[in-house]
Amino acid sequence: AQSVTQLGSHVSVSEGALVLLRCNYSSSVPPYLFWYVQYPNQGLQLLLKYTSAATLVKGINGFEAEFKKSETSFHLTKPSAHMSDAAEYFCAVSPFTGNQFYFGTGTSLTVIP
């Protein structure tokens, strides 16, 4: 069975500070992992994805995530938060076979000026 846990439904950071959004997955096989961002009143946009290539994945808007199999984690980071990063972030997992996504409950990121 696949599942995703996002720790912290709300995260606040100051502008210019490090952003760290946590995601842990449960999967019986090495999965594919994704981070999506949702801006207010918009659909989900792919930030980055892990598909068993490099464990450190770089995405759009300066975000990156590291796949750590030993910790079953795929945390999202950005060195310096920008006001425009304020949004809802979703971690998702998909098994090797089949395309069904399992989404986490989301983390709302607030950036304080």
Partner 1 sequence: DSGVTQTPKHLITATGQRVTLRCSPRSGDLSVYWYQQSLDQGLQFLIQYYNGEERAKGNILERFSAQQFPDLHSELNLSSLELGDSALYFCASSVDGPTYNEQFFGPGTRLTVL
Which residue do the tokens 């971690």 mark?
91
Contact by Cβ (8 Å): 30, 69? yes
Of the candidate spans 16-24, 36-44, 64-72, 75-83, the one that interacts with partner 1 by CB under 8 A turns out to be 36-44
Per rule CB under 8 A, is residue 43 in the interface with partner 1?
Answer: yes
- Using rule CB under 8 A, residue 106 touches partner 1: yes
Backbone angles phi, psi at 109, to 5 degrees: -100, 125
User: At residue 18, what is the residue type?
Assistant: L
- Pick the binder of partner 1 from 14, 42, 80, 110 (CB under 8 A): 42
Tokens standing for residue 102: 């399992």
List beta partners, residue 25: 4
Smallest gap from Cβ 15 to partner 1, in A, equals: 27
Residues numbered 51-90 forming contacts with partner 1, rule: CB under 8 A: 51, 90
